[in-house]
Chains A and B, each alone.
Chain A
Amino acid sequence: MPASLVVEARGVSRVFPMSAGPVTALRDVTLHVAAGEYVAIAGPSGCGKSTLLHLVGCVDTPSSGSILFEHRDVAALSEAARSRIRLTRIGFVFQRFFLLPMLTAAENIELPQAEAGVAPAARRARTRALLEYVELVDRADHLPSQLSGGEMQRIAIARALANNPVLLVADEPTGELDETTGEHIADLFDRVHADGTAILVVTHNPTLAIRASRRLAMKSGSLVA
Chain B
Amino acid sequence: MTSLGLAWRTARRYRARTLLAVAGVAIIGALLFDMLLLSRGLLASFADLLDSEGFDVRVIASEGLPAMRVPIPGSADLADRIRGMPSVRDVALIRMERARVRRGADRPRVVTLVGRTQSGVGPWTVVRGASLSYGPVGSARASGERDSASLPSERGDCPVVIGRNLATAFALEPGSSLDVTATPAGIASALPSVACRVVGLVDFGFAGVDEYAVATTMDAFEAIVAEPSHGEADLILVASRAESGGGAAAARAIAGLRPDLRVYSNEDVVAQFNRNGFAYFRQISFVLSSLTMSFAFLLVATLLTVSINQRLGEIAALRALGIGRRRIAAMLLWESALLVGAGALLALPLGGVLALLLDHILRQMPGLPERLHFFVFEPRALVIHVVLFVITAAAAAAYPVWLTSRLPIAATLRREVVG
Give chain A's interface residues, CB within 8 Å of chain B: 16, 50-51, 54, 57, 59-60, 79-80, 83-88, 90, 92, 94-96, 98, 100-103, 107, 110-112, 114-116, 159-160, 163, 171-172
Q: Is the interface of B mostly helix, strand, loop or mixed?
A: helix
Chain B residues near A84 (CB-CB < 8 A): 322
Give chain B's interface residues, CB within 8 Å of chain A: 1, 6, 9-10, 12-13, 313-314, 317-325, 327, 409-411, 413-414, 416-417
Partner of B417, one of A57, A86, A96, A111: A96
Q: How far is the CB of B250 from chain A (nearest CB, A)?
A: 65
Chain A residues near B322 (CB-CB < 8 A): 83-88, 90, 112, 115-116, 163
Is there contact, CB below 8 Å, between B313 and A98? yes
- A86-B321 contact, Cβ under 8 Å, with A103-B9, A110-B1, A111-B1: yes
Instruction: Offer 16 A-B interface pairs, CB within 8 angstroms, sorted by A.
Output: A50-B414, A54-B413, A59-B413, A60-B409, A79-B325, A83-B325, A84-B322, A92-B320, A98-B313, A98-B318, A100-B9, A102-B10, A103-B6, A107-B1, A112-B323, A115-B327
Is there contact, CB below 8 Å, between B417 and A50? yes
Chain B residues near A83 (CB-CB < 8 A): 319, 322-325
Is there contact, CB below 8 Å, between B417 and A159? no
Q: How far is the CB of A167 from chain B (nearest CB, A)?
A: 13
Chain A residues near B321 (CB-CB < 8 A): 86-87, 92, 111-112, 159-160
Is there contact, CB below 8 Å, between A101 and B1? no
A-B contact count (CB 8 A): 86
Is there contact, CB below 8 Å, between A115 and B9? no
Is there contact, CB below 8 Å, between B9 and A171? no
Partner of B1, one of A59, A95, A114, A172: A114
Is there contact, CB below 8 Å, between B320 and A59? yes
For residue A175, which residue of chain B has the nearest CB?
Answer: B417
Chain B residues near A111 (CB-CB < 8 A): 1, 318, 321, 323
Is there contact, CB below 8 Å, between B417 and A102? no
Chain B residues near A107 (CB-CB < 8 A): 1
Q: How far is the CB of A60 from chain B (nearest CB, A)?
A: 4
Partner of A96, one of B318, B323, B416: B416
A115 to B317, CA, bound (A): 14
Is there contact, CB below 8 Å, between A103 and B409? no
Is there contact, CB below 8 Å, between A94 and B323? no
- A102-B324 contact, Cβ under 8 Å, with A54-B410, A94-B317: no
A85 to B319, CA, bound (A): 11
Is there contact, CB below 8 Å, between A57 and B10? no
Is there contact, CB below 8 Å, between A92 and B13? no
Query: Which of B319, B325, B327, B409 has the most A CB atoms < 10 Å from its CB?
Result: B409
Chain B residues near A96 (CB-CB < 8 A): 313, 416-417
Q: How far is the CB of B404 from chain A (nearest CB, A)?
A: 13
A114 to B6, CA, bound (A): 12
Chain A residues near B13 (CB-CB < 8 A): 101-102
Q: How far is the CB of A53 from chain B (nearest CB, A)?
A: 9
A88 to B324, CA, bound (A): 12
For residue A60, which residue of chain B has the nearest CB?
Answer: B410
Is there contact, CB below 8 Å, between B413 and A115? no
- A94-B413 contact, Cβ under 8 Å, with A86-B320, A88-B322, A110-B1: yes
Is there contact, CB below 8 Å, between B319 and A100? no
Chain B residues near A171 (CB-CB < 8 A): 413, 417
Is there contact, CB below 8 Å, between B323 and A115? yes
Chain A residues near B318 (CB-CB < 8 A): 98, 100, 111
A194 to B406, CA, bound (A): 38
Is there contact, CB below 8 Å, between B9 and A102? yes
Known pairs A59-B409, A92-B320, A172-B417; list 13 more (Cβ under 8 Å): A50-B413, A54-B409, A80-B324, A83-B323, A98-B313, A98-B317, A100-B318, A101-B314, A111-B321, A111-B323, A112-B323, A116-B322, A160-B321
